[in-house]
Structure 1
Amino acid sequence: GKVEFCLGTEEMHLPTPPDLSQEHFRVSSSVEKSKLPSSQLGLVISSYYKTIDVLQASNQRSLKVQALHELGSLLIFAEKKRAAFKCWCQALDDIFRKSDALHTWKEFGPSFTNTSDNCSPSGFKDYSEEFLSKVGIWGCLQGAVISAKIAQFIKTLNVKKRINCCILSALLFQGLLRTTLPHPKAERCYAQYEIIQLLPGIELFSDRYRADICSVVASLYYIIRELHFAKQNLIVLPLLALYQYFVSGICQDIVRSIEARLLKVEVLIDLGFFSEAFYEMSQVLHGKNMPSTVPAGCKAPGKIKVILPI
């Protein structure tokens, strides 16, 4: 039979989401949503600015950071890079509670000098513990993604500034590994380290507006690639362990899991860790520590016995 919609019927927007089990789908808008017209993009952007002002007045700093982050992404979509950069810088300032945090983050407290490969910049220090104590878990996660986006979308021409943004993002990501004692501190210890549980009792991605798994994974992968190309290989090792945990343990993405292990092999070879690189390659070849290819709730097929005729 035919499927027809009632023309001229307008959809009424309720304060709560509709119950789809009671939906009759008589209106075309109930089954199809068109993208936001470019003519209304300015209205959405102005609404974000007004919302940020309200959050600022009510001292809702965490929500303000989220709004600034989203607004920056929206402005990038609208091809307004300068305005996006301003929003993201303001978000970092609110996270660190410090003006011009993008350029002054190295001024945070005393830090211990970290052992690094000979390609690391002189005087390179690990600020991850200071970052964690200063901005907390959510601040580290949001700041890491925002810094990565600044490096990817804003600092496209200046290599030095882009790498500095990547290092800031990497140290913020490493702050997630400073929350519990089992995770090692030395970066070279991550050559064969597998993260089983990142933050016991905390669901990082329970609220996608605060931490979207797709955005986090994409930003983390970008940082890993950029730092690897810049020969900052030692700082990449903890990030690879974190990325492997996200794509394998949470996303259950076998393709990205294999890509991560192959990239780790490249990094280990560049560092001269040949035995560790061989171990990683053997993990890939034997399919160990990989996400299950069988969907959750399904029974894995058993081995089929073939009886040959006598």
Structure 2
Amino acid sequence: GKVEFCLGTEEMHMSTPPNLSQEHFRVFSSVEKSKLPYSQLGLVISSYHQSIDVLHASNQRSLKVQALHTLGNLLIFAEKKRAAFKCWCQALDDIFRKPDVLHTWKEFVPSPTSAPNSHSPQTFKDYSEEFLSKVGIWGCLQGAVISAKIAQFIITLNVNKRISCCIFSALLFQGLLRTTLAHPKAERCYVQYEITQLLPGIELFSDRHRADICSVVASLYYIIRELHYAKQNLMVLPLLALYQYFVSGICQDIVRNLEARLLKIEVLTDLHFFSEAFYELTLIFYGKNMPCPVPSGFKATGKIK
């Protein structure tokens, strides 16, 4: 038989997906989909808002956070910063189940405690440990990326607020180091510490809608750079270890590995850890601790005689 299409007819994009069981496939757009034109961006945004309302009504909090995060990305692309800021703040509030988290996150850690009539020093609970106990691994990861994007794309003028947002993101990233594995808690212990295993049995990036490796790496590197410029170099050390684990252990990216290690030398130099900085430089010079160019499970080809 002969297949013919109605060339003069095109379908309009609707806010709800079509019912394919009733599709007649008479026009090209029902067979071959082209890139969505910019004029239809408003329809996509409207569809996201409707989906978020449905997820909220059905108490699908995790999916709602993902949708709010993606909608914020889309609104940034559409140059609607205020709307994107609102979406990302709402996502953070849903992660922590508390309003205005971006400005009240310091209240999550209890005030210093000490026994009455005791001369023992006051004890403080770690922010990252508290965040992990409240929102879990996925909450820490999603919250860290979202707050990093707020600092990068929204709070561009007020330096103090931007650095505070970066610190919030950094503490959430450090929450990944407060799991059952015995990673150091003291930031200075990460001077020469390397992460070889982060979360055994958990594939952080198996679902790119929940945790996209490209977005995580980009956000983490932005936080590292901002805190380094703000002279928060001790806080940068565990983040650099985490970043190197992502780009070397997962991405196998030699360029980003070198980029992070050169930045680490700058950080160590600013902290006056000159011997450690020189040691890191010698490792780079001799090609030590570099990502393997051959993926695991493959055998490198030898020279042909």
Same fold (TM over 0.5): yes
Report the alpha carbon displacement of residue 282 of structure 1 after superposing the two structures with TM.
Answer: 1.3
Report the alpha carbon displacement of residue 43 of structure 1 after superposing the two structures with TM.
Answer: 0.6
Whole-Å separation in 2 of the counterparts to 1:244 and 1:34: 38
Aligned to 2:276: 276
Residues 71 and 84, structure 2, Cα contact 8 Å, conserved in 1 = yes
The percent identity for this pair of structures is 83
Aligned to 1:308: none
Aligned to 2:184: 184
Paired amino acid for 2:262: L
Q: 1:272 to 1:126 in 2, by over 3 A?
A: farther
Aligned to 1:299: 299
Paired amino acid for 2:71: L
Aligned to 2:267: 267
Aligned to 2:84: 84
Report the alpha carbon displacement of residue 35 of structure 1 after superposing the two structures with TM.
Answer: 3.0
Report the alpha carbon displacement of residue 299 of structure 1 after superposing the two structures with TM.
Answer: 2.8
Aligned to 2:108: 108
Aligned to 1:42: 42
Matches within 5 A, 1:1-310: 34-110=34-110, 126-302=126-302
Paired amino acid for 1:134: K
Superposition TM-score, scaled by structure 1 size? 0.83
Whole-Å separation in 2 of the counterparts to 1:14 and 1:285: 60
Paired amino acid for 2:243: Y
Aligned to 2:24: none
Whole-Å separation in 2 of the counterparts to 1:201 and 1:112: 35
Whole-Å separation in 2 of the counterparts to 1:135 and 1:143: 9
Residues 265 and 281, structure 2, Cα contact 8 Å, conserved in 1 = yes
Unmatched 5+ stretches in structure 2: 12-17, 21-27, 114-123
Report the alpha carbon displacement of residue 274 of structure 1 after superposing the two structures with TM.
Answer: 1.1
Q: Deviations over 1:242-293 (max 9, x none)?
A: 0000000000000000101000010011011111111211111111111112
Q: 1:199 to 1:295 in 2, by over 3 A?
A: closer
Residues 112 and 126, structure 1, Cα contact 8 Å, conserved in 2 = no
Report the alpha carbon displacement of residue 8 of structure 1 after superposing the two structures with TM.
Answer: 5.6
Aligned to 2:14: none
Q: 1:39 to 1:303 in 2, by over 3 A?
A: closer
Residues 143 and 169, structure 1, Cα contact 8 Å, conserved in 2 = yes
Whole-Å separation in 2 of the counterparts to 1:77 and 1:125: 39
What secondary structure sits across from 1:157 in the alignment? coil
Report the alpha carbon displacement of residue 231 of structure 1 after superposing the two structures with TM.
Answer: 0.4
Report the alpha carbon displacement of residue 104 of structure 1 after superposing the two structures with TM.
Answer: 0.2
Q: Deviations over 1:36-81 (max 9, x none)?
A: 2111101100010011111111111111000000000000000000
Residues 294 and 300, structure 2, Cα contact 8 Å, conserved in 1 = yes
Residues 126 and 171, structure 1, Cα contact 8 Å, conserved in 2 = no
Whole-Å separation in 2 of the counterparts to 1:241 and 1:6: 60
Whole-Å separation in 1 of the counterparts to 2:29 and 2:104: 52
Whole-Å separation in 1 of the counterparts to 2:187 and 2:64: 33
Q: Deviations over 1:177-198 (max 9, x none)?
A: 0002421000010010110010
Residues 61 and 94, structure 1, Cα contact 8 Å, conserved in 2 = yes
How many residues align? The count is 280
Superposition TM-score, scaled by structure 2 size? 0.85
Paired amino acid for 1:261: R
Whole-Å separation in 1 of the counterparts to 2:91 and 2:203: 23
What secondary structure sits across from 1:195 in the alignment? coil
Unmatched 5+ stretches in structure 1: 16-26, 114-123, 306-310
Whole-Å separation in 2 of the counterparts to 1:275 and 1:98: 45
Q: What root-mean-square deviation, in Å, do the aligned CA atoms of Structure 1 and Structure 2 show?
A: 2.7
